Amino acid sequence: MRHGRYPFVLGFLVAPVVLYTIFVFYPITQLVFVATTNWSGLSPDFDNVGLENFEKIWQDSTFWQAVQHHLMLLIALPLITIALALFFAFLLNMGGGTRGGVMQGVWGSKFYRVVFFLPQVLAVVIVGVIFSRVYGPDQSGIINRLLSFVGIERVLFMSDYGMWAILGVLVWQAVGFYVVLFSAGMSSIPADLYEAAVLDGASRITIFFRVTIPLLWETIRVAWVYLGILAFDAFALVMVLSIEQGGPDGATAVLPVLIYKQGIRESEYGYASALGVSLFLLTITFAILALRAGRREAVEH
């Protein structure tokens, strides 16, 4: 029976492995090869320049400026998004107190779940267009128009607070998905645990930190990794919202936009590929470190 099982399993693995090799592994190896050339992308001619492109990256101040922006997003985006999502999810599932010894969500929690999730179904470009009107520097901007009513001077969001403005949009769009994710995790926690905590006189804050968080830890860790990967992107938002696609003076520069500029606009595909390799290594390094750092003994229920 066992001898017949292995060919059966291998038969199902062949197609995924072949597809993964063609559409994932091969493009990555091709990217690494192009990163060692001076290919312009416009002709079949190129020279192998070794690590010259990576040396150029090391001396590129715009690259390091973009890395600093990614580090800021890497810290702030997961912290703010997960904190807000946990808070809202807890309110939607347990904020209504106890009824008959059972924890209940706030009134209208099902409707609020739909409202929170709505930004997630919008295309990123549409979100960027919406917030271009919100952050508008003159009276066309919603925030600046409201500020003018109370006599406050206009705020140049994308010039003075570029990456923080981008961060606000990323949080606004992402938090709804994690509210639903954490709500699903909370609903899977046995009600007996909450009932026992309530009978012991535990407050909702104590229940949140002593019961909910430990039992949701694996979900939170995965959410942290996903949000960290998102922090290495922000391409569409920067392209739509920023001044001169990453400006002014690199104030909103991120690596995907630099890759686009060098590859598509400057026809330096070798250098753009080297930037792509750097972005890939940064993302993989973060994912590995985040998974290892967040590892802890599982809490069973």
Q: What is the pLDDT of residues 246-259, one digit of tens each?
A: 777 878 889 999 99
Domain borders along the chain are 61-293
Query: Are 276 and 35 contacting, i.e. CB atoms less than 8 angstroms apart?
Result: yes
Which residues on neighbouring strands pair with residue 173, listed in sequence order? none
Mean pLDDT in the chain? 83
Query: Are 144 and 155 contacting, i.e. CB atoms less than 8 angstroms apart?
Result: yes
DSSP string covering 65-77, please? HHHHHHHHHHHHH
Nearest Cα neighbor of 87 from 198, 202, 211, 175 is 175
Residue 81 confidence (pLDDT): 94
State the SS3 of 209-246.
Answer: HHHHHHHCHHHHHHHHHHHHHHHCCCHHHHHHHCECCC
Query: Are 227 and 78 contacting, i.e. CB atoms less than 8 angstroms apart?
Result: yes
Which residues on neighbouring strands pair with residue 104, listed in sequence order? 97
pTM over 0.95: no
- Run of H or E residues at 63: helix 61-94
Q: Is the pLDDT at 269 greater than 80, yes or no?
A: yes
Average pLDDT of the segment spanning 160-172? 89
Q: Is the pLDDT at 79 greater than 70, yes or no?
A: yes
Residue 11 confidence (pLDDT): 73
Residue 265 confidence (pLDDT): 86
Q: What is the pLDDT of residues 88-113, one digit of tens each?
A: 888 887 766 555 555 566 676 777 77
Q: Is the pLDDT at 1 greater than 60, yes or no?
A: no
Top CATH class of 61-293 equals: mainly alpha
Nearest Cα neighbor of 281 from 67, 94, 55 is 67
Query: Are 215 and 189 contacting, i.e. CB atoms less than 8 angstroms apart?
Result: yes
